[in-house]
Amino acid sequence: MATRFHHSRAEHFDRSPRWVTSAVRARSSAERSSATHVFRPEPGTGGRRGKREQGKRVLFGNEMKKVDECYYNARKILLAPSDHKAIRGKVDKRMAEEKKHSEELAARGPEFVVLLRPHTVWEKMNVTLSCIVQGSPSPTVTWFKDGIRIKPADAPGKYTIENKIGLQTLEISRCSPLDSGQYSALASNTHGEASSYATILVNKYQGSDAGDSARLDSARPLPDVNILDGFAASFPKEGGSLTLSCCFSTPLNAQSGEVIWLRDGALLKDSPLLKIDTSAHDTQLTLTHVYKEDEGLYTVCLFTPTGCKEHSGYVFVRDAAAAEPGAAGSPLDVECWDVHRDYVLVSWKPPSADGGSAVIGYLIDRKEVGSEEWVQCNHIPEKLCKFPAVGLCENHTYQFRVRAVNGAGISRASRVSEPVTVIDRTAASRIMRIWTDRGEIVVTKDELEGDVRIPLPPTQLRVTQVGQTYVALSWNEPDPRGREPLTYCVEKCVVGSDSWQQASMGITVSCPRFAVTELDKGKVYTFRVKSVNKYGISQPSPPSQGISFGQLPAAPCSPRNVVPVRDSRTSVQVLWEGPEDENELIGFYVYACQVGTNNWEICNNKPVNTNRFTVHGLSPRKEYVFRVKSVSPAGLSDYSMESTPIIVDSSISLPSAPYGLTLLSSGKREMVIAWKKPKFPIGPDILGYYLDCCDAAVAEWHEVNIKPIKTRVYKIGNLTEGRFYEFRAFAMNWAGVGPSSAVSDQFKCEQWTTPQPGPPFHLECTEVRSSSLLLHWQPPLYTGKDHVTGYLLELCETEGGEWRAINEKPTPSTHLRVSPLEEGKTYIFRVCALNSAGAGVPSLPSDPVCALTRPGTTEMETGVDEDGNVFLVFQCPEVTDTSEFLWSKDEQEMATPERVRVETAGDVSKLILVDPGAADLGIYSVQVTGTDGASSSHTLTNEELQKLKELSHRKKHPVIGVKSDWAVELLDKGSVRLWLQVEALSPAAHLQLIFNQKELSSNPTHRINFDKASGLVEMIIQNFTAADQGSYTAQLQDGKATGQFTLVLIGDKFRALLSECDFQRNEWRRKQGPYFEKYLAWVVTDDCETLLTCKVTNTRCQTRVTWSKDGQPLTEPTYDPNTGTSALSIPQITKNDEGVYKVVVSDERGEDSSVLKILNQVYDDILQEICTIAGSTASDLKLQPTAEGLKVYSSLKYNMDYMKKSWALNNKTLESQDRRRIGSDNHEVWLQIVNPTEADKGKYTLEMFVGKLTHKRELNLSQKVFDEAIAEYQRLKQAAFAEKNRAKVAKGLPDVVNVMENKALYLSCTVSGDPPPEVCWLKNDKEVVASDNCQVTVDKTSVTFSIQKVMSQDSGRYTLLVRNKYGSESAVITVGVYKCGEEAAKQ
């Protein structure tokens, strides 16, 4: 075979196209013609030979051989550069073009997913431009204003440029009219550029000379839209569903904003498993089926004219219930790589939960799209998180899933991978497209490679993956490949041996990828590949490097330096350092444990690829420790060292800016300014505020206060009357001073003289629920010419919308509960004060609030504690270290604090009413500081207070509750148990049991038991007698609680109990020997037999069972010692069976008896039962023609006279008479109709009466039936007459006669018949002829046959035949003749 391959290699050189081959041949011929040769003319010819032309000669012998060798050598030299160079150059050029094209397909230029939006803002406001850009590689964004690049360094603090995972923002602070213009964002990468443009218009205030109110130069800008009540961290379960939603402060439209959703910074779009629904009031994202892959940080971005608003929340997907107890969690992120004609590399990520047993490997399943059948790809679990699937069908589409295996079983399947179609990836690289002036020319490599037959070997064989069960190989196809389809043969060899074995046995390898399995661990293997086409097999490729199978990549190292940091009331941020060797590191899993529980919980089911993670869903104020695992394709690392414990609480950060600065009052040289507290952070207390003031004409800021202001209202003095001033505020906490608020409007310093009151302030919403909320505000500082008489409130569903009144009549208080509200809608409120001059200026609008009950909201409750104290209690899980519970009554501070007492422990605060009374009725409210508005209220009514006071009295003066009052129970041997059960008592409880005013103590005859834990009191009286008649009293005491319970046993109640005790005592004694388990009783069987049965037990072999009736022993009964059953059967009971039946069972231990009296009523009951069963078995009436007439009858199992019977014809009762005779026997009841006539037709009814029970049977004797019966009757009548008058042999003839020879034989008999019959004797069927020796005599009815002297020949069979016109009959006699001295028996 090697020789064959060696010779066939010469064909490889002739693989150029025809035009190349022709050129080479022409060139070779020319070179051969011009070759230099030495010509030697023959002598005498002058160099000429005949007429041959000059320069031509004929070559012979070795010269011709040399010329041929030169020709072939020259041809070989010429073909090599012209063929290889030209083809190789074109192929390399095409491959470079294809590579460049594939890179261009993988990469793409910048693209704006979300464009810039135009903005219109007020002067001195901040504005943010936002956009989202995508591209590969990641594009660089440059910002421009009116074509000039923006450089933040040129104007420090003016511009802020940020890139948040593709979200590009430009923030411009304190806008002025000079900032108006066209702004653009230019995104660029190596593949192109893209731009987005937006216009910013800054409007300014213009005040009039007379000091009129401010007005705008241009149209009013659109109302701003904010995100309200965003979603919190969510914890759905794998396989469930999840909905995330956010409300908007004002209705959203195309001009006011646009919404997008992101997960871990990636844009989300609608899909079969993900739905995004955005309306004017909210936006929702719904996951219809949650997978682990859905875990991550979800962000909703709201793009408005004033900038981008964001809200984020983490979604942690909990593991679904394990497929088997103790099984691991499901793998995730199943992906397909390196797709070829019959090969796909499948990868996945290991689960975070191993079920308590290490994962030993994974099972990979595949299915074709459109089929529901899953095929397992590997039978041995694969440890590495990669697996090559081989043996696939080209152009088929597959999906894959993975299951984890541990010692407990197999996990749930992972999410199904995206469909992947296996195709020939090299097909595109073998096609070249050349564009010319005339169009496109398509050239394939097959056309350039010529007619390759035996293929070349593959090249660049390498090992790409080494798993637990496989070695993945990759190689390049031979070049040139040839036109014929190629397959490959993979061989393996243990290093050190020369034995090559086929590794792809039974598998057609169609692509340059293959996974070798069934290798021995610990051995070093090398591999080689051969190309195969229809012409043959190539030489093997060079062997690969030796690979030691069974040595898996080591699991990653554990992370280190795990540090937890406070984040919020329910979350902690965990930081760590990853392993130094981060080769193929996928990410990390984080685990948390509450200190003291040793219950480690998984914090993320999707590996996080950063070195920090925020753990959500922790219990506030609890102490936790954390640890981390590294994740790689080789599996999970060991746990890191535990972190230091940390208490879950909010972090301390700088407060956000105050807002809502408003003017409350103004004088000639002073102003009173109020503002709203910062929105963030919620937890830490604000220590104070700083205020800055600016004269609008000078535009220079200066501090108003040096020491922080504790309140949110401040009077600024030393101002100049008639000047305009601006203000800004700062908040301060332990972390420092936060940013400044937005600059207030310009306020004019002048003395207010209007008669109406000024604006109320600090309008806030508490107790926000789905249908109501509570508004609070502060009265105005400027009251006008008169005191404030009330307040009017208004609400608006949108900013800039229409305000409508809430209350028609002014409310005198500074609070109001607003209801009903529409659930899920967003509202804003304002309030204005009234005096005698009218309504004043409305307050600043409240913050938008969504009418929705937040998850986890708790309400105030009432109750009574164990000491009998009436209390109101409120629990708030959101409390922090600095939170306070602020209680109030009727929205006022407690007027009488001595009537209440407040106790607070952790997140629970209790308000105790010291002396509950009418003065305590009212509305109680509580607010919790340092939380996001946690509050509640409760109206204490008189009815509820009375119930609480009754409960308080019962707890202060407790009575031991009874579960079960005194009860009497009979025990074995006639003992009596008296017992009662009360509620559970403490170990210090005491019992005193009194009988007839005498205290009882436990003794052998009266045993007393007292179980304090269950509250059971019992006394067992061993021998209950008449002396135990009386009253029993149990006196109990348990601390302050007491109880007294009495049982009275006297009179009929006692006598009945005593009688039952005696009976039970006797029963016990009776059962010491053999006794009757079932006493003697009667039963009627289905066959109407009377059966007397009993059953005995506790028997021995010597046990005897005897029956008697009226003192006389019975022998008929049966007894089965195995079952203990004894029975006496009476087939047909009669009066003779009446009596007293007794059964006695006895042995040496004793005896027992059972008596049954079958007398009077009992006998009647038996008969009635028999008749009841017999009557139910009666058949339907039947008609039977007879020789006498017609018989109507019914059959039954048993008939008795006890069962009364009645016959009727056409509902007329029939009596027994000569022509209609009524009769019965043991099994039939009949009506005999003699000589029937037409009058006997009709409906016959038989009624059988058994007590009150009636059995009814009917027969309809119609004309047809009657005629048929009459015909049969006539036939039977005639047959009977004929039978009566037929010739008969009545009597007298024996069957056998033995007679001695020479003796006489006389045979006589009587015959009958009318007319008299004819008589004939036959011997051996021949008529006997009368003679002197043989005579036949007939005398009326007497027939005589005689033989005077019998001879031996007279032996034989004699037949007497009689006949008349009605019939005949015969009698046969056998006659035997014997000689004297012989025994007749021998004859």
Q: pLDDT per residue over 819-870, tens digit each?
A: 899 888 888 999 999 999 999 999 999 988 888 888 778 889 999 988 889 9
Q: What is the Cα Rg of the chain in Å?
A: 60
Structure confidence by residue, pLDDT tens digits, 313-358: 999 999 888 888 889 999 999 999 889 888 999 999 999 988 888 8
Question: Does the predicted model carry a pTM greater than 0.85?
Answer: no
Q: What is the pLDDT of residue 25?
A: 41
Kindly state the helix (H) or strand (E) to which residue 1164 belongs, with its residue range: helix 1160-1176
Of 516, 512, 513, nearest in space to 502 by CA: 516
Of 1066, 1071, 1128, nearest in space to 1099 by CA: 1071
User: Residue 703 in contact with residue 690, Cβ under 8 Å?
Assistant: yes
Helices 18-33 & 62-79, crossing angle to 10 degrees?
A: 140
Structure confidence by residue, pLDDT tens digits, 486-526: 899 999 999 888 889 988 877 888 889 999 988 888 889 99
Spatial separation of the C-alpha atoms in residues 829 and 1235, rounded to whole Å = 115
- Given CA atoms 1108, 1112, 1118, 1123 in this order, what sign does their dihedral have? positive
Residue 467 pLDDT greater than 90, yes or no: no
Structure confidence by residue, pLDDT tens digits, 356-415: 888 999 999 999 998 999 999 998 899 889 999 998 998 899 999 999 999 889 999 999
Residue 68 pLDDT greater than 70, yes or no: no
Of 686, 690, 736, nearest in space to 709 by CA: 690
- Given CA atoms 494, 496, 499, 500 in this order, what sign does their dihedral have? positive
- Given CA atoms 1018, 1020, 1026, 1028 in this order, what sign does their dihedral have? negative
Q: What is the pLDDT of residue 50?
A: 40
Say if strands 1296-1300 and 1367-1378 run parallel, antiparallel, or are unpaired. Answer: parallel
Of 583, 585, 626, nearest in space to 604 by CA: 626
Spatial separation of the C-alpha atoms in residues 313 and 297, rounded to whole Å = 6
Structure tokens at 290: 């949650």
Spatial separation of the C-alpha atoms in residues 1363 and 894, rounded to whole Å = 139
Structure confidence by residue, pLDDT tens digits, 884-923: 888 988 888 776 778 888 999 888 999 999 888 888 898 9
Structure tokens at 1122: 């195995």
Spatial separation of the C-alpha atoms in residues 140 and 168, rounded to whole Å = 10
Q: What is the pLDDT of residue 37?
A: 38
User: Residue 1175 in contact with residue 1088, Cβ under 8 Å?
Assistant: no
Q: What is the mean pLDDT of residues 976-982?
A: 91
**Which residue reads 């009566």 in tokens?**
1284
Band (441; pLDDT cuts 50, 70, 90): confident
Phi, psi angle pair for 1286, to nearest 5° = -65, 150
> Which residues does residue 472 pair with via DSSP β-bridges, in sequence order?
465, 515
User: Residue 115 in contact with residue 196, Cβ under 8 Å?
Assistant: yes
Q: What is the mean pLDDT of residues 123-146?
A: 87
Q: What is the DSSP string of 402-433?
A: EEEEETTEE----PPPPPEE---TTTGGGEEE
Spatial separation of the C-alpha atoms in residues 938 and 887, rounded to whole Å = 11
Number of Cβ within 10 Å of residue 882's Cβ equals: 14
Residue 564 pLDDT greater than 80, yes or no: yes
Of 524, 513, 451, nearest in space to 482 by CA: 451
Kindly state the helix (H) or strand (E) to which residue 76 belongs, with its residue range: helix 62-79
pLDDT higher for 444 or 1236? 1236
Omega cis (within 30) before 480 = yes
> Which residues does residue 688 pair with via DSSP β-bridges, in sequence order?
732
User: Residue 1360 in contact with residue 1345, Cβ under 8 Å?
Assistant: yes
> Which residues does residue 1040 pair with via DSSP β-bridges, in sequence order?
none
Cα atoms found within 13 Å of the Cα of residue 594, Cβ hemisphere only: 11
Phi, psi angle pair for 1270, to nearest 5° = -65, -40
User: Residue 261 in contact with residue 246, Cβ under 8 Å?
Assistant: no
Spatial separation of the C-alpha atoms in residues 331 and 417, rounded to whole Å = 12
Band (176; pLDDT cuts 50, 70, 90): confident
Residue 18 pLDDT greater than 50, yes or no: no
Of 13-22, 228-237, 416-425, 642-651, least confident by mean pLDDT is 13-22
For residue 535, with 0-12 CB atoms within 10 Å meaning exposed, 13-18 middle and 19 or more buried, which class applies?
middle
Residue 255 pLDDT greater than 70, yes or no: no
Of 420, 508, 421, 524, nearest in space to 471 by CA: 524
In whole numbers, what is the pLDDT of the chain averaged over residues?
84
Band (222; pLDDT cuts 50, 70, 90): low
Of 500, 348, 470, 490, nearest in space to 418 by CA: 348
User: Residue 658 in contact with residue 686, Cβ under 8 Å?
Assistant: no
Q: What is the pLDDT of residue 1279?
A: 82
Spatial separation of the C-alpha atoms in residues 1348 and 1333, rounded to whole Å = 5
3-state SS of 725-756? EEEEEEEEECCEEEEECCCCCCEECCCCCCCC
Question: How many H helices and E strands in the chain?
Answer: 9, 99
Spatial separation of the C-alpha atoms in residues 604 and 617, rounded to whole Å = 11
Per-position b or e across 251-273, b if 16+ CB within 10 A of its CB: bbeeebbbbbbbbeeeeeeeeee
User: Residue 681 in contact with residue 727, Cβ under 8 Å?
Assistant: no
Spatial separation of the C-alpha atoms in residues 313 and 244, rounded to whole Å = 9
Residue 279 pLDDT greater than 60, yes or no: yes
User: Residue 680 in contact with residue 712, Cβ under 8 Å?
Assistant: no
CA 419 to chain centroid, in Å, comes to 26
